[in-house]
Amino acid sequence: MKKYDHLIFELSNPDRRAFEIPKSDVGEESLESFLPKKALRAKAPELPQVGQVDLMRHYTNLSHKNYGLDTGFYPLGSCTMKYNPKINEDMARLPNFTETHPMQDDFLVQGNLELMDNLDQMLCEITGMDKMTLQPIAGSHGEMLGLMLMKAYHADKGDMNRTKIIVPDSSHGTNPASAAMAGLDVVTIESKENGEVDLEALKEALGDDVAGLMLTNPNTLGLFEKQIQEIAAMVHEAGGLLYYDGANTNAIMGITRPGDMGFDIVHLNLHKTFTTPHGGGGPGSGPVGVKARLIPYLPVPFVEKNEAGYKLSYDSPKSVGKISNYYGNFGIYLRAYVYILSMGYNGLKRASEVAVLNANYIMYSLKDHYKLAVDRPCKHEFVLAGINTDIAEMPTVNIAKRLLDYGYHPPTVYFPLIVPEALMVEPTETESKETLDDFIKAMKAIVEESKNDPELVKTAPHTTPVRKLDEVGAARNPIVRWEPKE
Amino acid sequence: MFPYIANTPQDEKDMLKAIGFNSIEEFFDDIPKELRLHRDLNLKPAMTEAEIKVHMEKLGAKNRGKELVSFLGGGVYDRHIPSVINHVISRSEFYTAYTPYQPEISQGMLQAIFEYQTMITNLTGLDVSNASLYDGASAVAEAAFMAVDKTRNKEIIVPDNIHPNTLRVLKTYLRFKDLELVVVATKEGTFSKAALEEKISENTAGVLVQNPNFYGLVENEIEEIVELTHKNKALLIMSVDPITLGVLKSPGEYGADIAVGDGQSLGNGLNFGGPYFGFMAATSKLIRKMPGRIVGQTVDKDGKRGFVLTLQTREQHIRREKATSNICTNQALNALAASVYMVALGKKGITEVATQSAQKAHYLYNQILEKTNFKPVYDKPFFMEFGITSNIPATKVKEALLEKGILGGIELRICGEHFDNALLVAVTEKRTKAEMDQFVQVLEGLK
Amino acid sequence: MSELFFTKKHEWVLVDNGHATIGISDYAQEQLGDIVFIELPDVDEDFEQGDDFGVVESVKAASDLYMPISGKVVEINEELEDAPELVNEDAMANWMIKVEITKKEELADLLSEVQYKDFIEEE
């Protein structure tokens, strides 16, 4: 089945149908009778016409060429690829939720609004913040909003000079890109070797032109930023705000909270920490939480509760406005809500503990075969600085590709940028000891292969549906759509 | 125990012992004591599936919607959704996968996106499509940034007859980048060359046209607007409803540079506003200015056809602050649903869906004008959505309809106080004659 | 008489009678790997020394091109739009832009071929 090689267009036959709608029961008046001819297209859009069996087999065969979390282990650092519970999917498909239109009156969607209000409070409790907005559709959307809130806050205080945002050089690429979207200039500061903030560099960068600092904690190397209180004090002292990139929240649930560390703004990736599926690239959900002094700037609408029930309120004169069409990805954050219910306070804490245990277990099991970026207990993820060169030489990219032959999705590679040959591993709490042991074995076997049969590793993968693809050719002469042969 | 956490207390012991630690607590030693949460999170204890089902059913029962007949639109439409869609997007090889950064094991999703891109370009009549954006509103904002980037001008012109939420989102996005938004007042519901002429200048980066516009009207001067825009070296952005492109002239045919829109209509459920997806297509010369992921066709080292994410230097993980956008996670699974929808319908089916929606909307419109005291808000060509008004407050009209199980429409007051009693009514192919006759009957009975 | 200079950002500059032809060094092309796209400015655009005037892209990296000296663009190498790989094949032969130099004194900031060789060895 993995040999399947058809594009849907190549199966098209003009007389086939996969689906039909009922015939019209109001007659078939011609479009020209009520629309000007010039408003109509010359010919119907070219879409494939296939039978329903062809359709199902096509996508089923495609799915066989795709690796998902239900296929196998996905130790992708900073992405928190944890199991996606099936009850979440079932609950998200309940017609009472799916069949509600975003423009229905509030009194007809009390269940939705109650869910939103409950989730707001749960996420505030987990992060130590005062109010959440569920409107951001993805993590970077949340980042953009968070930075807009920062800017709006300063502007409201009459402080128009604060145009700079500090990000450490170990940060995720979305941080500087989101800053640009919010119209802030990025100042990158060098991190210390262990990925921690260099206080001297921070001090130097801070000033009355700085809007704030963006951080993850634990940081991208999987280490807790021990000086966070000092950092928070320095940033606040300088009039700035502290932004928490929630990519690494899976390490700290029920253990410590960004709100208590001094952060003013937090975004969460519900598709990471809170088990909503990654969907092959999306949809996600990136709620943003703030401390009380930033509430006036949150986007509209927000859910309000009064004696009559729940309502969506647009009454917020200082709000930054809207960043997405309606209320964010309702169907996605509903799944996160179900996940939190199914874990409870005790389960969430246990999840973080086991995520951290699993990461340390792999890290210390691999320390003789790979170089540890930092030799110190990690949180939910850790970074290897490539293979142990005393045993063999092998670029990280080849190790990653060889893992495909062993049936694993590789770890994140060459990130963070501050670690050469980086391999970033995040096992999550949902994987068993047996799975971790097998992965450790495979990682060690690749070191042996690199020593004894380096060609085997360098030419990997060997067993995947396609082999190494020509990315240079794809970028030089982009073919981004199918066209019929002349 | 927790079903999603596999390791047992015994596993925990064995693992700790193997790596020389005594307790998990040791891994958290570096967190300052005063930052530790010295209490349990104030959440409920864990619930089982059975308990969750009861809770969610109860919560869902506080909504009304599934038993109601909907004439709500405004960019989100209640349409027939083929069963195959849910079966395809429920395959966990798709929905539990990460972004296809490892092409060797992601050919399924990559090819599906490549096919999606092809269908979107065919629908819009343009050359290139990306792999999806967040939603229709943010897609308009991203298109505006492309125009700014391409022309190096700072001003975006939009008519006031676009979706009010699109306008809100655009305002927010542009304001923070210090870009200028010029809103043109339209006359009698439609945009015109004359109205644009008053505002357009050498400083204009882009001009937006929404077709059909928020009032459901089919814009009548798009050719002229495109021409004027191009004469001023600005880009023309068209915001469109993808279903209407089954029969309406495509952005490509009009000479638009960028087409955007919300893809909900293409096989995605209502879901109280999301997840939907935004689509974007453009002329080939704009490809390197596009935001988001793009899939390209290539070959593997054995010469076999394959697909990869391409032109990635546009994106945040490489370009950081100079990227075309900060978008990372998109709406891939919703775009997949849209692909399956377009394949299920095919060329003939999408034409039928568009045609029937328009025919049924005109049936209802004519019946209302014939049998009731309601008047059209604008007496102009429309597609499948129209405004009606009377001397009865819109809320009263909605109440009366709801009594008969009908969601009557969107109060046009959201577009301005002058639309006092007006209701925007949408009709899709899913509505039946009986449902529409009931609608008319309720209006007839209103005094 | 034409004279060849280099910059620490790895551009080469061939100066001839008030005009400069600019490309990237062989070392730079090697660092970048397979070049897939080159974005060049429009003719008649003015740049100050140090401004970025374009971008060179490989599959996984994008590097800005910096103006070695202030000047006005008089010609761009259009051949590179369709065949960026030419720079990989011969970086010295495949120039990117020609400019009219506006601040001759800035030539003093540039490196000679020997100085540049020493510089990349240090790197």
If we measure between CA atoms, which residue out of B72, B2, B11 comes closest to residue B425?
A: B72
Q: Which of B101, B290, B313, B320 should be substituted to probe chain C, the one whose Cβ sees the most C Cβ atoms within 10 Å?
A: B313
Domain region containing A444: 348-471
Q: How many other CB atoms are found less than 10 A from the CB of residue B31?
A: 22
- Asked if C57 is an interface residue toward chain A (Cβ–Cβ < 8 A), one would say yes
- Please state, for a pLDDT cut of 90, what percent of chain A lies above it: 94
Task: Report whether pLDDT(A1) > 70.
Answer: no
Across chain A, what does the average pLDDT equal? 96
pLDDT of residue B447: 76
Do B69-78+347-445 and B83-341 fold alike per CATH? no
Give the whole-angstrom CA distance, residue A421 versus residue C67.
32
Largest Cα–Cα separation, chain A: 80
Closest residue of A to B26, CA-based? A377
Q: Which segments of B266-306 does DSSP mark as H helices, in order? A: none
Residue C37 and residue B313: Cβ atoms within 8 Å?
Answer: yes
Question: CA torsion sign, B237 to B241 to B243 to B248?
Answer: negative
Q: Which residues of chain C neighbour B312 with C-beta distances below 8 Å?
A: 59-60
Residues A55 and A95 in one domain: no
If we measure between CA atoms, which residue out of B139, B237, B344, B212 comes closest to residue A17?
A: B344
- Asked if A108 is an interface residue toward chain B (Cβ–Cβ < 8 A), one would say yes
- Asked if A44 is an interface residue toward chain C (Cβ–Cβ < 8 A), one would say no
Q: Which residues pair with B385 in a beta bridge?
A: B426
What's the pLDDT tens digit per position in B18-31? 999 999 999 999 99
What letter represents residue B399's amino acid? E
Give the whole-angstrom CA distance, residue A78 versus residue A220.
7
In a domain, A78, yes or no: no
Alpha carbons within 13 A on the beta-carbon side of A226: 7
What's the pLDDT tens digit per position in A197-228? 999 999 999 999 999 999 999 998 999 999 99
Rounded to a whole number, what is the distance in angstroms from the first to the last CA of chain A? 29
- Asked if B22 is an interface residue toward chain A (Cβ–Cβ < 8 A), one would say no
What's the pLDDT tens digit per position in A280-326? 999 999 999 999 999 999 999 999 999 999 999 999 999 999 999 99
Alpha-carbon distance C67 to nearest alpha carbon in chain B (angstroms): 18
Give the whole-angstrom CA distance, residue A347 versus residue B45.
8
- What is the pTM assigned to this prediction? 0.96
What are the boundaries of each domain within chain C? 3-103
In a domain, A74, yes or no: no
CATH 3.10.20.30 is held by the domain B83-341? no
Q: What average pLDDT does this structure show over A34-42?
A: 96
Could you give the angle at the alpha carbon of A92 between the alpha carbons of A91 and A95, nearest 5°? 85
Residue C62 and residue B288: Cβ atoms within 8 Å?
Answer: no
Residue A109 and residue B65: Cβ atoms within 8 Å?
Answer: yes
CATH number attached to the domain at C3-103: 2.40.50.100
For chain A, what percentages of helix, strand and coil (3-state, to nearest 5) are there? 40, 15, 50
- Asked if A160 is an interface residue toward chain B (Cβ–Cβ < 8 A), one would say no
Alpha-carbon distance A474 to nearest alpha carbon in chain C (angstroms): 9
pLDDT of residue C116: 94
Give the whole-angstrom CA distance, residue A419 versus residue A398.
17
Interface of A with B in 204-263 (CB under 8 A): 223-224, 226, 228-229, 253-257, 260-261
Interface of B with A in 198-217 (CB under 8 A): none
CATH architecture for segment(s) B69-78+347-445: Alpha-Beta Complex (3.90)
Residues A210 and A311 in one domain: yes
What's the pLDDT tens digit per position in C15-38? 998 999 999 999 999 999 999 999
pLDDT of residue C25: 95
Number of domains forming the structure of chain A: 3
Closest residue of C to B310, CA-based? C59
What's the pLDDT tens digit per position in B73-100? 999 999 999 999 999 999 999 999 999 9
Q: Running DSSP on this structure, what letter comes out for residue B168?
A: H
Residue A475 and residue C84: Cβ atoms within 8 Å?
Answer: no
Task: Report whether pLDDT(A243) > 80.
Answer: yes
If we measure between CA atoms, which residue out of C54, A415, C52, C75 comes closest to residue B288?
A: C54
In a domain, A36, yes or no: yes
Give the whole-angstrom CA distance, residue B329 versus residue A177.
13
If we measure between CA atoms, which residue out of A144, A56, A389, A282 comes closest to residue B274?
A: A282
What's the pLDDT tens digit per position in A103-138? 999 999 999 999 999 999 999 999 999 999 999 999
> Which residues, given as ranges, of chain B have pLDDT below 70?
none
What's the pLDDT tens digit per position in A60-87? 999 999 999 999 999 999 999 999 999 9
Written as one string, the DSSP assignment of B308-368 is EE--GGGSHHHHGGGSS----S--HHHHHHHHHHHHHHHHHHHHHHHHHHHHHHHHHHHHH
Alpha-carbon distance C106 to nearest alpha carbon in chain B (angstroms): 28
Residues A184 and A325 in one domain: yes
Residues A362 and A463 in one domain: yes
What are the boundaries of each domain within chain B? 9-53, 69-78+347-445, 83-341
- Predicted ipTM? 0.97
Give the whole-angstrom CA distance, residue B409 versus residue B442.
14
Q: Which two structure tokens, joined as six digits, stand for A332?
A: 């996605």
Give the whole-angstrom CA distance, residue A339 versus residue A126.
13
- Asked if B317 is an interface residue toward chain C (Cβ–Cβ < 8 A), one would say no
Q: Which residues of chain C neighbour A476 with C-beta distances below 8 Å?
A: 36-37, 84-85
What's the pLDDT tens digit per position in A399-415? 999 999 999 999 999 98
pLDDT of residue A2: 63
- Asked if A40 is an interface residue toward chain B (Cβ–Cβ < 8 A), one would say yes
Chains near C (3 or more Cβ pairs under 8 Å): A, B
- Asked if A11 is an interface residue toward chain B (Cβ–Cβ < 8 A), one would say no
pLDDT of residue A485: 82
Q: Which two structure tokens, joined as six digits, stand for B378?
A: 């604008």
